[in-house]
Structure 1
Amino acid sequence: MPVTVHFAAGPAAWREYHDHLPRALADAGVQAEILLTAPDPAAVDYIVFAPSGEIQDFSPYVNCKAVLNLWAGVERIIGNTTLTQPLARMVDPAMTESMVEWVVGHTLRHHLGMDLHILNQDGVWRNEITPPIARERPVAVLGLGALGRAAGEALAALNFPVMGWSRTPKNISGIDCHSGDAGLAAVLSRAEIVILLVPLTAGTENLMNAERLARLPKGAVILNPGRGPLIDDAALLAALDRGHLGHATLDVFRNEPLPKGHPFWTHPRVTVTPHIAASTRPLTASAVVAENIRRGEAGEPLLYLVDRARGY
């Protein structure tokens, strides 16, 4: 008997997944009926979900075995009190590759001082500044989940001295791992480039406040491809204005699209990229969803289950 999968991520998402998800389920050996609407919620076995989709009340889905989120972040769903079913976040290998490329690209951009030459094609021969080599530039990755670990390992492979910070202790080859408040203070005091990839929770909102920004070495660079509210915007602008920070390259924001009049758009030390560092890719994400449904039907542990107490 086929399992019933309610694709509840919205019509726009279904246009991207309608070829890939059925094929991925078949490849995983799962017989499934995919519904775009669920006249009988009690008959639904799995929900494929996105916070921009249609379901707000999960209580009618009394027999649902799991809610499978298409987004890596779960901060917009974790507080829904009607959601009692197991919740899995998306860890898409192609998204990870994309994030690593964005992080490495912008790290190298700032490390090499590429803007100096790219933005000044004016006939002046500027060879006074020779950048250090990678092993002389300490880099910090805040957040050592799937994305942070992959980014840190890629930077370490380029010989950057990589420090990592996470809420709980971790041990990752090639990364100098720290945890807790004391660990964060130690990491920030040395990092010339800081990459923010921690999940957004009540404990990480405004993680980079005025006090922590002030701990960074003068001229340090912030890269934020994680979540906009990880940074106190006003504190960041103040640190940039007084010259303590060298630059901030930001891919995520408190309000998206970033409002036209926001000072980030015109600040000379801010680069805005429009939330393009890492997006879920329907081809590879479909395989992750299908594997989790296969596991659910086989009685195996689901991948990437969310710990509600931690918020990710």
Structure 2
Amino acid sequence: MTSVLYRSDAARGRAWAEYFAHHAPDVDFHVWPDHGDLADVAYLVAWQAPPELLAALPNLKVLFSSGAGVDHVDFAAIPPHIPVVRMVEPGIINGMVEYVTMAVLALHRDLFDYQARQARGAWEPIEVRAASARCVGVMGMGVLGQAVLARLAPFGFRLRGWNRSERASEGVEVFAGPEGLAPFLAGADILVCLLPLTDATRGILGAEVFAALPRGAAIINVGRGGHLDQAALLAALESGQLSRAVLDVTDPEPLPADHPFWRHPRILLTPHVASMTQPETAAPVMLENLRRHQRGEPLLGLIDRDRGY
């Protein structure tokens, strides 16, 4: 019997176990710390996979990340022959689209400014700009980036995307590679970071990128905390180069209690909740991938170790 070990959020793990019990009775599904015989585990589903756990799984065939990112994975601890697969499922996509749309519209319609004026008891209208007068730029045009752009399109925003390599998208002005970054930034009134965290993208949201944006631009970081140069953000907000920042991710998580982000009037913090794996949609995706592996078919969401995503 095929054995699967789930080592992530226990409550969600129980929902996964129920799904597998009903739809895949031939799979022996365990939720950590109930792991059964580790020598039987062929598939590991985990957010973090400690090296000592990996070393205890001599017959592991595939490591499935329980989330869309894999920057938490220590590839050096995983034998090269073991595929690593990231989770791309409807629940993650829908959650990210909802969050980014919420943040973009709140910035576009000056919701945060009105919140501050309400606190002062000030009835002060702000001139409404048409969505067509505002440009939203998305860094990272993978599955999540494409879904965000598609959802924003009906509002009438001018849309542009930046990606490591050229990737066409209907109704989106696309820029690619290092040479395309500055032109992309020059027209982005609201910048959304959906990049994977790699050595090349760590700290990318820094002084150089902020300076290339139109004065008064806003940023939304739903990638990883490691993308952001925190000191550069504070300086850009202080100078007025940036007007606001919506941050769902930080480094570290959570931030220390005395960190200036907590009480900054132009920063909105949320605790890494933009998008979460949903058991009812994630378990079927993982099971389909397991079956594909058993049939010798290509895995969906397979990570390229050289690129890191």
TM range (shorter): over 0.9
Match of 1:178 in 2: 175
Alignment partners' CA distance in 2, 1:284 and 1:39? 25
**Per the alignment, do residues 8 and 274 of structure 1 end up closer, same or farther by CA in structure 2, a change over 3 Å counting?**
closer
Check conservation: 1:207, 1:230, Cα contact below 8 A: yes
Check conservation: 2:91, 2:277, Cα contact below 8 A: yes
1:205-262 CA-to-partner distances (Å, cap 9, x unmatched) read 0112211111111100000111111111111111111111101111100101121111
**Structure 1 unaligned runs (5+)?**
none
**Per the alignment, do residues 123 and 23 of structure 1 end up closer, same or farther by CA in structure 2, a change over 3 Å counting?**
closer
Among candidates 10, 34, 47, match of residue 29 of structure 2: 34
- Equivalent AA in structure 2 for residue 61 of structure 1: L
- Equivalent AA in structure 1 for residue 146 of structure 2: R
Match of 2:16 in 1: 20
Check conservation: 1:57, 1:83, Cα contact below 8 A: no
Alignment partners' CA distance in 2, 1:69 and 1:235? 32
Among candidates 248, 252, 263, match of residue 266 of structure 1: 263
Alignment partners' CA distance in 1, 2:17 and 2:302? 20
1:9-54 CA-to-partner distances (Å, cap 9, x unmatched) read 3xxx233222333424643x56101234556443222111221x55
Alignment partners' CA distance in 2, 1:99 and 1:139? 16
Instruction: Return the offset for 1:92.
Output: 2.2
Moved more, 86-95 or 110-119: 110-119
Alignment partners' CA distance in 1, 2:84 and 2:247? 29
Match of 2:124 in 1: 126
SS in 1 for 2:144: helix
- Equivalent AA in structure 1 for residue 64 of structure 2: L
**Per the alignment, do residues 16 and 253 of structure 1 end up closer, same or farther by CA in structure 2, a change over 3 Å counting?**
same
Identity of aligned residues (%): 38
Check conservation: 1:96, 1:150, Cα contact below 8 A: yes
Q: TM-score, normalised by structure 1?
A: 0.91
- Are 2:294 and 1:301 aligned? no
Alignment partners' CA distance in 1, 2:163 and 2:25? 37
Alignment of 1:21-170 (within 5 A): 21-24=17-20, 26-27=22-23, 29=24, 31-35=26-30, 36=32, 37-38=34-35, 40-51=37-48, 56-84=52-80, 85-121=82-118, 124-127=122-125, 129-170=126-167
Check conservation: 2:6, 2:13, Cα contact below 8 A: no
**Per the alignment, do residues 7 and 115 of structure 1 end up closer, same or farther by CA in structure 2, a change over 3 Å counting?**
closer
Instruction: Return the offset for 1:119.
Output: 2.9
**Per the alignment, do residues 21 and 300 of structure 1 end up closer, same or farther by CA in structure 2, a change over 3 Å counting?**
farther
Alignment partners' CA distance in 1, 2:166 and 2:74? 24
Check conservation: 2:20, 2:29, Cα contact below 8 A: no
Q: TM-score, normalised by structure 2?
A: 0.92
Check conservation: 2:117, 2:124, Cα contact below 8 A: no
Match of 1:277 in 2: 274
Instruction: Return the offset for 1:132.
Output: 1.3
Which of 1 and 2 has higher RCO (CA within 8 Å, sep 6+)? 1
Alignment partners' CA distance in 1, 2:53 and 2:185? 42
Check conservation: 1:57, 1:82, Cα contact below 8 A: no
Alignment partners' CA distance in 1, 2:21 and 2:289? 10
Alignment partners' CA distance in 2, 1:177 and 1:203? 20
Alignment partners' CA distance in 1, 2:155 and 2:268? 24
1:277-298 CA-to-partner distances (Å, cap 9, x unmatched) read 1111122111121111111122
Alignment partners' CA distance in 1, 2:73 and 2:95? 24
Check conservation: 2:218, 2:245, Cα contact below 8 A: yes
Instruction: Return the offset for 1:116.
Output: 2.7
**Structure 2 unaligned runs (5+)?**
none
SS in 2 for 1:260: coil
Alignment partners' CA distance in 1, 2:305 and 2:173? 28
User: Number of aligned pairs?
Assistant: 305
Check conservation: 1:59, 1:83, Cα contact below 8 A: no
- Are 2:186 and 1:192 aligned? no
SS in 1 for 2:215: coil
Check conservation: 1:92, 1:288, Cα contact below 8 A: yes
Moved more, 81-90 or 231-240: 81-90
Moved more, 97-106 or 129-138: 129-138
**Per the alignment, do residues 248 and 19 of structure 1 end up closer, same or farther by CA in structure 2, a change over 3 Å counting?**
closer
